[in-house]
Amino acid sequence: MLPAVHRHCMTTLVRHVTFDCSDAYGLGAFWAEVLGGSVSDDDRPGDPEALVGTPDGLTLLFVAVPDAKTVKNRVHFDLQPQERTRDEEVERLLRLGATVVGDHRRPDGTGWVTMTDPEGNEFCVERSAGERAATG
């Protein structure tokens, strides 16, 4: 069980979610498109870092590192489309350069799809709120 939080304690905020990657600007541009955000005006192709802001206030930082990704992510995004169905979102993400690595959709409409971004980082696409309301 977690300890109780005392009101007089200052909280710690998550400033960025940071991704180590090969191409900071390229991967940042992919995620900006996925999330409807934008790469910072200060960032350019070839830069060692790229900052992406999203409409919901999430900030992602992409940092170029010499090491290749070698193992499965320990943390990943679960995406819930807002204006599309899960399947429409999967198709859109495929066009943007994502890859399906696990299809967990069920005949009753439930389930999710596990995908990877262009550098192999895993994420999942779940049903939209509308789909959840329609099928329970």
The domain locations on the chain are 15-67, 69-136
State yes or no: pLDDT of 136 exceeds 80. no
Mean pLDDT of the chain: 92
- Would the CATH topology of 15-67 be identical to that of 69-136? no
Q: How many CA atoms lie within 13 A of 73 on its CB side?
A: 18
In 49-78, which positions are buried (b, 16+ CB within 10 angstroms) versus exposed (e)?
Answer: ebbbeeeeeeebbbbbeeeebeeeeeeebe
pTM to 2 decimals? 0.87
Top CATH class, 15-67? alpha beta
Which overall architecture, per CATH, does domain 69-136 show?
Roll (3.10)
Q: What is the pLDDT of residue 26?
A: 98
Q: For 24-38, how does the pLDDT look when each residue is reduced to its tens digit (9 = 90+)?
A: 999 999 999 999 999
